[in-house]
């Protein structure tokens, strides 16, 4: 499997990695994890729990654009160091994004979010390069 495909796999796993702190915050919210109404419980979260929810949701939102970029590069046979580098940079940016979100580092989070977005968009443009 190619490096970009491994990065898609890792990015998919990051969605669930981002869920772990959210689940912990929900459990600690009072009354334990509400599996009957988890979205209502999530809406009540504040502080770290609210940030964990937002980080998890953003991980879901960022994944399709990245996966589309990798697939566009793959089907057009755009491979090589640039595609590999962009895919790895996206994964690194997403890990840093989660860490920044959880730590309430707002401007740093925005910077690494932008890096990830640019990587996804550049992957889409690799067939034109």
> In this predicted model, what pLDDT tens digit does every residue of 67-104 receive, in sequence order?
999 999 999 988 789 999 999 999 999 999 999 999 99
DSSP states along 13-39: HHHHHHHHHHHHHHHHTTTS--SSSHH
Quote the CA–CA distance of 78 and 72 in Å, as a whole number.
8
Which CATH number is 1-126 given?
A: 1.20.120.550
pTM: 0.93
Q: Mean pLDDT throughout 28-34? A: 85
Rg (CA), the chain: 16
Exposure string of 19-45, with b = 16+ CB inside 10 Å and e = fewer, is bebbeebbeebeeeebeeeeeebbeeb
Domain ranges of the chain: 1-126
Q: Specify whether the backbone of 34 is left (phi greater than 0), alpha (psi in -120 to 50) or beta.
A: beta
């Amino acid at each position: 499997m190619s490096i970009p495909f491994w990065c898609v796999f890792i990015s998919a796993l990051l969605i669930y990695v981002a869920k772990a702190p959210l689940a912990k915050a929900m459990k600690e919210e009072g009354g334990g994890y509400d599996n009957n109404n988890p979205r209502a419980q999530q809406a009540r979260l504040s502080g770290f729990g609210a940030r964990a929810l937002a980080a998890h949701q953003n991980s879901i939102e960022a994944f399709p654009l990245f996966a589309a970029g990798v697939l566009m590069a793959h089907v057009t046979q755009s491979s090589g160091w640039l595609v590999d580098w962009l895919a790895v940079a996206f994964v690194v940016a997403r890990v840093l994004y989660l860490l920044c979100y959880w730590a309430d580092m707002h401007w740093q989070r925005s910077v690494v979010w932008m890096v990830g977005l640019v990587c996804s968009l550049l992957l889409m443009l690799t067939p034109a390069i």
